[in-house]
Amino acid sequence: MGARVRQTVTHLADGRELIYFDDTEPFVSGAATRDLHDRRDLPPVAATSEMRGDPLTGEWVTFAAHRMDRTFLPSAVDCPLCPSRADVCTEIPADDYDVVVFENRFPSLGAPSAGEDLVDDEGLWPRRPATGRCEVVAFTPDHDARFADLSVPRARTVIDALAARVTALSKQPDVEQVFCFENRGVEIGVTLQHPHGQIYAYPFVPPRSRALLDRAREYRQRTGRSLQGAILDAERRAGTRLVVSGDAWSAYVPAAARWPVEVHLVPHRDIPDLAALDEHERDELAAVQRDLLGRVDRFFPGVDRAPYIAAWHQAPVGAPRGDMRLFCQIFSLRRAPDKLKYLAGSESAMGAWISDTTPERIAERLREVAP
């Protein structure tokens, strides 16, 4: 963590960890966060999640029944990510903040570690606790803001916070994959409207990461090159789907894009995760990510805020560092100003994607709506 950002670690009333990432006064000196305390009377968090192996696919499925009663689309007055007030104490005890990361009160992962057993004593169905960790990243105290509204320095602080958490979580026992992402919009399924992201530290390598890793390894064995590096070079040569070309980052619509709005943000260096970004790469990323998310919001005329997911794909914790390259996949399920793309039979049941547009049209529109 650079000198420009101060980390202050504290705990909420139920013992969950909370970390302030401050870049402005009075926070960066520590004076404003030193004596903050959570005034609530909260019971301890009891994550009871378990994972069961699917014998048909070899994938782990997580069951987190305790999340059924989690907070769901509260009003701005009751938002748990807004700063605390004299009459209301939220998840963030401070009356103002820069960026905050804390353990999720309703985590999908985080059950106590224990041994593996079998469902119904049948060898087909292994079962084990869903260990790991789930964190919430509050980007800003402004309830009505969006990531694209952040200043470049504040977006850089978010990136520094994510990188710091990737470093810390990658060292935890049983963690095999750290996934940083932002869900935005009720159409995506968010339960909190306040601008925020999440971090999942999985105790297994999820299917998408496994597929990316396997393809990358096969390509390197066959050619001696990085697959994602080769794709970036090819997209920059073609130029037809290129959206942004910077000094350290490029953004393009992939030639086989699945979603009606999709763009990949890729570093020019072959690096495994957010923690490996240098200072220059972080600076440029702060500007480019804001730019791209703003373009997604302007993609459809008359739509103020498009639903989207911004997903950071990183190398699994135990993978050799050269096997998989960092990139951000930004996509929206909106396919027209008044229509959403629903995953019907071919996509949901067979995983065989059918697109209603072309990658070239997506890229052309993203270039048209540049600031």
Task: Give the annotated binding-site residues for Zn(2+).
Answer: 79, 82, 143, 194
H or E stretch covering 28: none
Other C-beta atoms lying within 10 Å of the C-beta of residue 7: 14
Cα–Cα distances in Å, from 292 out to 147, 250, 256?
Answer: 10, 11, 19
**Residue 279 near residue 340, CB atoms below 8 Å:** no
Q: Phi/psi of residue 348, each to 5°?
A: -75, -40
Query: Which residue is catalytic, options 11, 37, 66, 196?
Result: 196
**Residue 346 near residue 353, CB atoms below 8 Å:** yes
**Does 196 participate in catalysis according to the annotation?**
yes
| Bond prior to 301 in cis (omega within 30° of 0) | no
Rounded to 5°, angle at Cα 304 from 302 and 306: 105
**Residue 158 near residue 180, CB atoms below 8 Å:** no
Q: Please give the Cα distance from 19 to 278 (Å, whole number).
A: 22
- Eight-class DSSP state of 76: G
Catalytic residues: 196
